[in-house]
A and B are shown apart, each in its own frame.
Chain A
Amino acid sequence: MEGFIATKLDEFDRGKISRRRLIEALTLAATTVYATDAAKAQAAGSAGPALKVALVNHISYSCPNFRQAGDWYSKVFNLDQVGLKDTEVTLPFGKMGEQPYNVTAKDVPLTFIIARAIDRPVNPRNVGRPKPEAVIDHIGYTVADFNRERAKAELTAMGVKNVREAGMQSLHMDDPFGYDVQISGLEVNALRGG
């Protein structure tokens, strides 16, 4: 909380936010921290962030041919396709009723990819949005029983393009639209990979 306050204050001092914004931000932060639920308040006060993401819910992937993308991800990762619409298809990482790997909370759904048509109508909510200065340049997926050489052979046999090694425990490849996809096992993680 102290760090957050210092940051906001610093922004105010440098003229980046108005007095009104400073007050609003600090009031809201304080309200959040000292919510009625004592346990939550304690956690928020000591840990800092008011929110804690549990898992990727979905990846929204825009491409020239969403059916082709859907078929590719289905083939490579054994994913079903559900919810086919005019401009998108959904690929869940498992079957209905399954829990995400090592997640016990019942309100955390399986992750999914939504393959979408790049030329779909613009969502009115997104009109006027500034252009992002950041990019997700690749996504790494964790797969079961990963073995680099075996995986390489399988990918090659499936006709996957531009399969290339990335250390001993992962592979990169291109999807049908040249998007960089990485696969690895559980060994590649935040403490020793990326």
Chain B
Amino acid sequence: MDRFIADLVKNYESGAIDRREFCKTVALAATVYAAGDAAKAQAPRGFKMIGINHISYTCPDYAKVRDWYVSVLGMEKAPGRDDGQRANLMFGPEPGKGGSFVVARNPPANPRPAARAFVDHICYTIPNWDDARVEAALKATGRPFTSRPGNKNVLDPFNYPVQLANIEEENPWK
């Protein structure tokens, strides 16, 4: 707890947080601590990452990209989650058990200011990789793609780069 407070003070002194935030945070930490959740009230050491929850994908026509991600990448439309402006496209483990989804959406009325960084592509893993099968499937889409064994790069309907790979070609320790 003391390290937590010390870090908080440091942030307050450096101007990273204001007085109000400081007070609010200490009060909250005290509540959590008092509730007996001491372990969780320890110094901030970050979160335990489980995985990607969702990818928010904004494009001129969400329906077009929805259909492409379903038909080409095998994602599934989440029932009841298509409101005519956006749709959730599921893949991986079951929803609520670590599954991920792409939110394909039309542009919002009031977009956030552009960041100084961007996600330039997403790579997806395809299990049971079969080079010929992947290549044939991509050729069938008519979209441009490049091909190396175990690794393909294709442009989706809005020219967003999508990479498909197997574990040999793309893993963190390669």
Contact = CB atoms under 8 A, between A and B. Distances in A.
A132 B160 contact: yes
Q: At the interface, is chain B mostly helix, strand, loop or mixed?
A: mixed
Contacts of A131: 159
Interface residues of B, number: 102
A84 interface: no
A137 interface: yes
B36 interface: no
B50 A186 contact: yes
Nearest to B70: A49
Contacts of B119: 59-62, 136, 139
A147 B88 CA distance: 24
B121 interface: yes
Interface in B84-116: 86, 88-101, 103, 111-116
Interface in B41-70: 44-60, 65, 70
A56 B112 contact: no
Which 8 pairs of residues, A with B, have the shortest CB-CB distance?
A: A52-B74, A63-B117, A92-B172, A134-B59, A190-B101, A140-B53, A177-B117, A189-B95
Given A51-B134, A133-B160, A136-B55, 17 more contacts: A7-B71, A49-B74, A52-B127, A56-B92, A77-B49, A92-B173, A102-B93, A102-B97, A107-B128, A107-B129, A112-B172, A132-B161, A142-B49, A144-B47, A154-B47, A182-B56, A188-B53
Interface of B: 4, 7-8, 11, 14, 16-17, 21, 25, 28-29, 32, 40, 44-60, 65, 70-75, 78-81, 86, 88-101, 103, 111-129, 133-134, 136-137, 139-142, 146, 153, 155-156, 158-161, 163-167, 170-174
